[in-house]
């Protein structure tokens, strides 16, 4: 029998008193896509760092093509054909595509003259091999995130990588780009490359993977062929319990209208003719394809790009939102899509992040009262079940789901009437997703009006009281949640339904 491309046997790794890996065994065959799943903190990142040589295991062995690889380093791992592609590509923004690819392939040789034409031709051939239509002379900063990921893949292919690790590769991709990535993966499989695929999107696992291994608390809880398992079983394996209510049912009936929009528009954002109302206790879903205008609408409501047409009313009174300061004063909070760039400040403590929006109230006359700040943050840590050692812990030390809770705390401290959530569970594991959904339901049951933007169709269908579908900068239809299904939401998003229904 042919030896596995990669074999890990009883890998253990501890950091002081924390046992991150507790004897994990894992194998990868040539031409196989082996998915690696688990909640944040399950041990996935540590295991990947062991495979790529960034961490040395305390115990256990790593074999490549049947040969034990002792004391792997990042350099020796690359020489053995191991490459990793992360959610944030490690490329030099001021260099061209061809130059970035060359940095991973060429070895310095004294005063040797750079063969620019050869370098460009090689980059073009590698990009063509994976189906990427990218000009090798383009600077990386001019590329989208998906294009940058394709450059990383091309570079890995050029190094002759036989073991390719993809960590959340579709997190920032559009539907079309995901299909392109999957086509690239199929081509890599045909050439015998083994791929370790990490994703929180379970539907992708059933599309692209051959086998799946689930980690929990630093241990492997099972490896299965994808055809022998279903989503419910995977969730149970990841969280260690049944998650029958990922989308908990509403416990209240919506009340009176809190926020009303009449023919709202913003020429700079391409938004026009937006009319709807959001009621107290309601989760109002905004669905649509990438580029439909959902985030642009949220930015208008928060005053980042103010409206230049139409009317906004709050509790029946017309208001004018010209800046985020205005929005906050009216009781509108906004948790943006990219929490790491705009939702939280990673290098600041939990307490400072949670109270950032109420400094003028918490610190009147500029007197800093850090005890009050910590006490307030401790209350949100308790109420939102934020897993952190203390209010003084840096947000960067928290998992993605807990960072999202800190972002929520920041706006709940304002005491909002309306809370806008843009992709509230993007990039978090299924257990954290369930906790965030329960939290959103609880806030709605307390009378908060919630506008939720999500590209996750099951999430929109499972959580929304009503769903507004956007296309081309406007709303094509509004559906009652109980009458909505994947077919009519996607039909409206694709322009198959031109009849607008205002609910």
* pLDDT of residue 40 exceeding 70: no
Q: How far apart are CA 330 and CA 259, in angstroms?
A: 11
How many Cα atoms are found within 13 Å in the side-chain-facing hemisphere of 446?
A: 13
Residue 335 lies in a domain: no
Question: Beta strands of 57-152 (E only): which ranges?
Answer: 59-64, 67-68, 82-85
Give the β-pairing of 418-422 and 449-453. Answer: parallel
**CATH assignment of the domain containing 96:** 3.40.50.300
Across 387-393, average pLDDT:
82
For the segment 445-468, what is each residue's pLDDT rounded down to a tens digit? 989 999 999 888 888 888 999 999
Residue 132 lies in a domain: yes
pLDDT in tens, 345-375: 777 888 887 777 666 666 666 666 667 777 7
With beta carbons less than 8 A apart as the criterion, state whether 213 and 220 touch: yes
SS3 393: coil
Distant-in-sequence contacts of 120-125, Cβ < 8 A, 24+ apart: 122/98, 122/158, 123/97, 123/98, 123/154, 124/98
| pLDDT of the residue at 500 | 42
Computed over every residue of the chain, the mean pLDDT equals: 85
Q: Is the pLDDT of residue 399 over 60?
A: yes
For residue 413, is it within any domain?
Answer: no
Q: Considering only CA atoms, which of 333, 285, 309 is closest in space to residue 459?
A: 285
On whether residue 193 sits in a domain, the answer given is: yes
Composition of the chain by helix, strand, coil, percent to 5: 35, 25, 40
Q: What percent of the chain has pLDDT over 70?
A: 89
Are 131 and 184 in contact by the 8 Å Cβ rule? The answer is: yes
- The conformation of residue 2, written as its DSSP 8-state character, comes to P
Provide the residue range defining the domain that includes 21.
Answer: 6-239
> 438 lies in a domain?
no
Please, is 235 exposed, middle or buried when counting C-beta atoms within 10 Å of its C-beta (0-12, 13-18, 19+)? buried
Q: Is residue 289 part of a domain?
A: no
Q: Count up the domains in the chain and report the number.
A: 1
Q: Put residue 423 in one of left, alpha, beta given phi > 0 → left and psi -120 to 50 → alpha.
A: left
SS (H, E, C) 255-319: CCEEEEEEEEEECCCCEEEEEEEEECCCEEEEECCCCCCHHHHHHHHCCCCCCCEEEEEECCEEE
* Domain assignment of residue 122, yes or no: yes
Which residue do the tokens 């960034």 mark?
54
Task: Map residue 57 onto helix, strand or coil.
Answer: coil
Measured between its terminal Cα atoms, the distance across the chain in Å is: 63
The answer on pLDDT for 92 being more than 80 is yes
Confidence of residue 501 (pLDDT cuts 50, 70, 90): very low
Q: Tell me which long-range contacts 138-142 makes (C-beta under 8 A, separation of at least 24).
A: 138/96, 138/97, 139/93, 139/94, 139/95, 139/96, 139/97, 140/91, 140/92, 140/93, 140/94, 140/95, 140/96, 140/97, 140/100, 141/93, 141/94
Is 417 inside a domain boundary? no
Mind spelling out the 3-state secondary structure of 211-272? EEEEEECCEEEEEEEHHHCCHHHHHHHHHCCCCCCCCCCCCCCCCCEEEEEEEEEECCCCEE
């Amino acid at each position: 029998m042919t030896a596995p491309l990669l074999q890990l046997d009883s890998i253990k790794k501890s950091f002081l008193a924390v046992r991150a890996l507790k004897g994990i065994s894992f194998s990868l065959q040539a031409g196989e896509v082996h998915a690696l799943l688990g909640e944040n903190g399950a041990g996935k990142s540590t295991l990947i760092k062991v495979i790529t040589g960034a961490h040395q295991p305390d115990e256990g062995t790593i074999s490549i093509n049947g040969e034990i690889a002792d004391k792997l380093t990042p350099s020796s791992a690359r020489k053995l054909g191991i490459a990793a592609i992360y959610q944030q590509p490690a490329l030099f923004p001021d260099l061209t595509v061809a130059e970035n690819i060359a940095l991973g392939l060429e070895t310095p040789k004294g005063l040797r003259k750079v063969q620019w034409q050869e370098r460009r031709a090689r980059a073009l051939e590698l990009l063509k091999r994976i189906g990427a239509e990218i000009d090798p002379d383009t600077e990386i900063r001019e590329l989208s995130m998906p294009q940058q990921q394709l450059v990383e893949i091309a570079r890995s292919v050029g190094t002759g990588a036989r073991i390719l690790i993809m960590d959340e590769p579709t997190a920032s991709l559009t539907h079309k780009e995901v299909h392109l990535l999957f086509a690239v993966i199929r081509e890599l499989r045909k050439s015998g490359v083994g791929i370790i695929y990490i994703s929180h999107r379970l539907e992708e696992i059933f599309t692209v993977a051959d086998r799946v291994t689930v980690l929990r608390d630093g241990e492997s809880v099972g490896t299965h062929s994808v055809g022998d398992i279903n989503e419910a079983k995977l969730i149970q394996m990841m969280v260690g319990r049944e998650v029958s209510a990922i989308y908990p049912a509403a416990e209240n009936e919506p009340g009176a209208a809190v926020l009303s929009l009449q023919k709202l528009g913003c020429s700079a954002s391409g938004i026009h003719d937006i009319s709807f109302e959001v009621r107290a206790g309601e989760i109002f879903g905004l669905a649509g394809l990438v580029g439909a205008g959902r985030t642009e609408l949220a930015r208008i409501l928060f005053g980042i790009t103010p409206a230049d047409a139409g009317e906004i009313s709050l509790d029946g009174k017309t208001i004018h939102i010209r800046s985020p300061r205005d929005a906050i004063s009216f009781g509108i909070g906004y948790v943006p899509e990219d929490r790491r760039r705009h939702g939280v400040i990673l290098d600041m403590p939990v307490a400072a992040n949670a109270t950032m929006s109420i400094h003028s109230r918490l610190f009147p006359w500029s007197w800093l009262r850090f005890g009050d700040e910590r006490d307030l943050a401790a209350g949100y840590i308790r109420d939102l079940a934020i897993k952190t050692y203390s209010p003084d812990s840096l947000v960067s030390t928290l998992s993605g789901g807990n960072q999202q809770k800190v972002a929520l705390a920041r706006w709940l401290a304002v005491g909002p009437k309306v809370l806008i959530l843009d992709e509230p569970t993007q990039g978090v594991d299924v257990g954290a997703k369930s906790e965030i959904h329960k939290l959103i339901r609880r806030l709605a049951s307390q009378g908060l009006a919630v506008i939720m933007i999500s590209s996750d169709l099951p999430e929109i269908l499972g959580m929304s009281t009503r769903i507004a579908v956007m296309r081309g900068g406007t709303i094509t239809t509004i559906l009652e949640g109980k009458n909505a299904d994947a077919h009519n939401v996607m039909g409206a998003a694709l322009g198959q339904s031109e009849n607008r229904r205002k609910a």
